[in-house]
A and B are shown apart, each in its own frame.
Chain A
């Protein structure tokens, strides 16, 4: 079956520091990877959509300078939260899309900022 792994599951960082999170799709070929942030109120914010060999498209309010993403192959993507502050807290979800268009999510990386 289609599985998406994310690492780490939970991380705490000091305000102003950076942290990197990883995403791996297993059992299917991911045509694209999307990174989301889920707020404490459970709403989803799309950060960026990444397709291998194409430019990564960032949504409004999110920039490459703040959330650089690497997507070197079909199954792996990583994102860094640079210079994290309180407003960056949340559950960061990676969604990998299969050829039929269904997006499979990992369990998320929960970011706490002190």
Chain B
């Protein structure tokens, strides 16, 4: 069973719109979460980390974590065509400290139409 599940598989939003991506973990050990973005032909780039319940905002990006339901979301406000990419959710357990293994979801493909 996939321990980190992402939805939707693909998403299309108009330029200027709001994109909402979801991620759920089936492993209660996962307490730390990251969002990564990967443009075609490039490696994944770390967008945000979130370790505590609630919202974390960085510019147009807002992550929300609910540890009780093991659900984390990413909201992109005022979406731009350059935001079109694959978005991955990654999670790790606290055990092993900063070197704990990262587990990735299968990704959400975001398309922003101008």
Contacts and interface: CB of A to CB of B under 8 A. Distances in A.
Interface of A: 4, 6, 31-32, 34, 41-44, 46, 49, 51, 93, 95, 97-108
A101 B101 contact: no
A29 to B, nearest CB: 11
Interface of B: 32, 34, 36, 38, 41-46, 49, 86, 88, 90, 92, 97-104, 106-107
Given A44-B104, A100-B98, A93 B43 contact: yes
Q: Which 5 A-B pairs have the closest CB atoms?
A: A105-B43, A101-B98, A44-B104, A32-B99, A107-B43
B34 A102 contact: yes
A42 B10 CA distance: 13
Contacts of A34: 101-102
B23 to A, nearest CB: 14
Contacts of B42: 107-108
Contact of A31 (B32, B38, B41, B99): B99
A70 B98 CA distance: 21
Contacts of B103: 46
Contacts of A106: 43
A6 B42 CA distance: 11
Given A34-B102, A42-B86, A43-B106, A103 B43 contact: no
B86 A103 contact: no
Contact of A101 (B36, B41, B44, B92): B92
7 contacts: A32-B99, A34-B101, A43-B104, A93-B44, A101-B100, A102-B49, A105-B46
